[in-house]
Structure 1
Amino acid sequence: MSIEMRMLTTQVQYRNPQGWLFRHEYAGSGILAWLGCHYIDMLRYITHDEIVSVSAEVATRSGEDIDVEDIATLSFRLRSGAVGSLHAGYTLALSGSKYPNQPSYDTYVGVNGQNGRIHWASPGVAEHMSVETAQGSWASAPQREFDYTLGQSPAYGGIAGEEFIRDFIRSGQGEGTPPASGRDALQVARIIDAALESSQTGRRVEVELP
C-alpha cells in the first residue's frame, strides 16, 4: 500500500508575514506545524498505522522575512511496511475569500491498495471522492465517483470544524471520548521534529513510537 498527500495553500504574503506563525522563536516550525500537521494526523487516523521513519527536505522560498519553512516534502515508511509522501507549502499565487475556497487550496489524499484505490481532491462546496476496485460486486463497474455536500457553517473549518468543537466540549464534560487526544498531538509533533531533523542532517530519521 502507498499513500500520497498534498496540502498547498496561499503564499506567505497573504498571511501576515510579521505574525508569530512565521517566527521560529514562537512557532518552532512553519507549514508543517501549522497545516501539514493535519494531514499527518489524518494519515494516522485513516490508516490506523504509525509512521516509523521520515526522509524530508524543507525550505524557505517565499521571499518574505520569515525564519520557518514554507515548503516541505516528506517521504515516510509506516509500521505496516506501506510507504507514502506529503508535499506541503505556502505556494499558491491566488487567494480567494471566505473559508474554504477553491483558489486558496490545492489538496489531495490518495490511498493505494492491492485491491483498489481511493482518492479525494481539493475541497469546495460539493465534495468529491473517487473509488476504484475490481473486487466482488464492483468488478463490472470498477471505477465509481461519489459527490456529497457538507452542511454550511460560518465557523472556522466549516461544519466539520463546528462539530469537532462540539465533540471536544462534550468530551470535556464527560460525554464520550475526545476526537483526538494529547497523545495524538504528541505523535504528530514527533513526526514533524523527525522531518526537520532529516532535512537538516540529510539522512532518514527514525520516529519514536507511542
Structure 2
Amino acid sequence: MINVGIIGCGSIGVKRHIAEYEENDNVKLTAFCDRVVSRAEAQQKIYGGKSYEKYQDLLEDDSVDAVSVTVPNHLHAEISIAALKAGKHVLCEKPMGLSTEEMDRMIAAEKESGRQLMIGHNQRLIKEHQVARDYVATGKLGKVYAFRTTFGHPGPEEWSVDGKESWFFKEDEAGMGAMGDLGVHKADLIRYILDEEIVEVGGLISKEAKSFSDVDDNAVCILRTASNAVGTLQASWSFYGLEDNSTTIYGEKGVLHLLGDEKHSFVFTGRDGTVVQENYGGIQTNDEEGQAKKSFVMDAFIEALVMDERVPVTADDAKKSVEIILAAFESDRTKKIMMEE
C-alpha cells in the first residue's frame, strides 16, 4: 500500500489526482495540503488522514510515501525538490518547470534522493497514441514526412476553482499560459509517437483572447525533427464551443488521424487503400463526460512504485518537452528559428 499526500487541492488535485488515486487499490490517501486550508480540510473530511496549510508540514509526515504536486507552476520545482529531499516519491503536474535551471535542480534532487520523480504527461499513456507509436516504430507508416498536433479549449476559467481569478492567468504564478498548459502536452506527444527529438523550433505566440489574463492564450509553432520531418503544434485557450485534441501524422505509407473523428479515435488511411478504424476510448477532457475517463497517470505512477520499476514519464524526458516550449517563446521574442545546440 502506498500512502499518498496531495499538495494542492484545487480542481486538478481534486478532480484528477484524488479521484483517480481513490480508485486505486494500492493507494491510501493520507494527507492533504492547500494554501487555502479549507480545501485541504474538505478532502480530509471525505478520505480521512490529515490536512495541512503548509507543504513543509505535510512533508514532515513520515507516514506519507509519495506526493502529488498540483500547485501553481512557479512552485513545481520548489515543492518537488523539497519532497524528494524529504524522502517522498513525487508526481508533479506539467509543465515540469519554468526554466532549464529549475528542471536541472529537480533532476539532481531526484538522483540524490533515491526516490522517483514523474511528470504528469497523460497523452502518451492512452492507447491511441501508443498504437500510433507502434505504427511508426514497426514501419507501418513508413518514413514520416510531416505532422500537425493541436490542443485547444475555452480555457481554465471554465473549470478552475477560482475562475478568471485563477493563478493560471497570472504570469508571476503560471509563468506561461496555453503553452504551459496544453502546448507542452503536445510537444511531449510528438516526441513520444515519433521517438525522436525536435531540433528546430519557430514560435508565434499571442495574448489576444483573454483581456483579464497576463499570459499567452494562443500559439502556433513550427517544428523540425532530427529525421527532417516537419510539422505544426497549436495550443489555444480560445477554442470556444469545441475542444480539439487531435494529431495527424503523414508518412510514405499513409496517414494516421488521432482523436479527430467523432466515431473513431484512431484512423489509419493507407496509401494502398487500406483503412483501419478503431475506438480505443479517447482521452480525458474538461467537460463532464470527459472527466469520467481515466488519465492513467496516477495508475502508472503507483504501478511503478509498487513494482519497483522506473516511472514511465521521467524528469529527464519531460525536461526536453518543456525546452521545446521555452524555445518557442524565445523564437517569438527574437523572430528567429531556434536550433538545438
For 1:57, the equivalent position in structure 2 comes to 204
Q: Is the 8 A contact 1:31 1:70 kept in 2?
A: yes
For 1:117, the equivalent position in structure 2 comes to 255
Is residue 314 of structure 2 the alignment partner of residue 181 of structure 1? Answer: yes
Q: After superposition, give the CA deviation of every residue in 1:51-94 in whole Å (9 maximum; x if it has no partner).
A: 11101100001232211100000001101111110111011223
For 1:97, the equivalent position in structure 2 comes to none
2-side partners of 1:35 and 1:54: how far apart? 17
Report matched runs for 1:169-208 at 5 Å.
169-208=302-341
For 2:185, the equivalent position in structure 1 comes to 38
Match among 166, 169, 174 for residue 19 of structure 1: 166
Is residue 194 of structure 2 the alignment partner of residue 47 of structure 1? Answer: yes
Q: Which amino acid aligns with 1:165?
A: M
Is residue 304 of structure 2 the alignment partner of residue 167 of structure 1? Answer: no
What is the DSSP-based 3-state SS (H/G/I as helix, E as strand, rest coil) of the residue aligned with 1:107? Answer: coil
Match among 70, 75, 90 for residue 237 of structure 2: 90
Of stretches 168-177 and 199-208 in structure 1, the one that deviates more from structure 2 is: 168-177
More helix by share: 2
How far has the Cα of 1:107 moved from its partner?
A: 2.2
Instruction: Specify whether residues 70 and 164 from structure 1 end up closer, same or farther in structure 2 by C-alpha distance, changes over 3 A only.
Output: same
Match among 147, 150, 153 for residue 9 of structure 1: 153
Instruction: Specify whether residues 64 and 13 from structure 1 end up closer, same or farther in structure 2 by C-alpha distance, changes over 3 A only.
Output: farther
2-side partners of 1:113 and 1:90: how far apart? 30
Q: Number of aligned pairs?
A: 191
Q: After superposition, give the CA deviation of every residue in 1:167-193 in whole Å (9 maximum; x if it has no partner).
A: 102223453221100012211111111
How far has the Cα of 1:151 moved from its partner?
A: 10
TM-score (norm 2): 0.51
Is residue 265 of structure 2 the alignment partner of residue 132 of structure 1? Answer: no
How far has the Cα of 1:130 moved from its partner?
A: 1.5
Is residue 161 of structure 2 the alignment partner of residue 28 of structure 1? Answer: no
In structure 2, the gaps of 5 or more residues are 1-144
1-side partners of 2:244 and 2:328: how far apart? 22
Q: After superposition, give the CA deviation of every residue in 1:111-163 in whole Å (9 maximum; x if it has no partner).
A: 10111111123487x652221224xxxx4x423322344699x9x865441x3
Q: Is the 8 A contact 2:148 2:231 kept in 1?
A: yes
| Larger RCO (CA under 8 A, 6+ residues apart) | 1
For 1:76, the equivalent position in structure 2 comes to 223
State the percentage of identical aligned residues.
24
What is the DSSP-based 3-state SS (H/G/I as helix, E as strand, rest coil) of the residue aligned with 2:237? Answer: strand
1-side partners of 2:260 and 2:167: how far apart? 27
For 2:45, the equivalent position in structure 1 comes to none
Q: Is the 8 A contact 2:265 2:282 kept in 1?
A: no
Q: Is the 8 A contact 2:202 2:336 kept in 1?
A: yes
Instruction: Specify whether residues 122 and 18 from structure 1 end up closer, same or farther in structure 2 by C-alpha distance, changes over 3 A only.
Output: farther
For 2:275, the equivalent position in structure 1 comes to 143
What is the DSSP-based 3-state SS (H/G/I as helix, E as strand, rest coil) of the residue aligned with 1:10? Answer: coil
What is the DSSP-based 3-state SS (H/G/I as helix, E as strand, rest coil) of the residue aligned with 2:328? Answer: helix
In structure 1, the gaps of 5 or more residues are 95-102
2-side partners of 1:27 and 1:151: how far apart? 24
2-side partners of 1:171 and 1:193: how far apart? 29
TM-score (norm 1): 0.80
Q: Is the 8 A contact 1:107 1:123 kept in 2?
A: no
Instruction: Specify whether residues 188 and 24 from structure 1 end up closer, same or farther in structure 2 by C-alpha distance, changes over 3 A only.
Output: same
CA RMSD of aligned residues (A): 2.6
For 1:99, the equivalent position in structure 2 comes to none
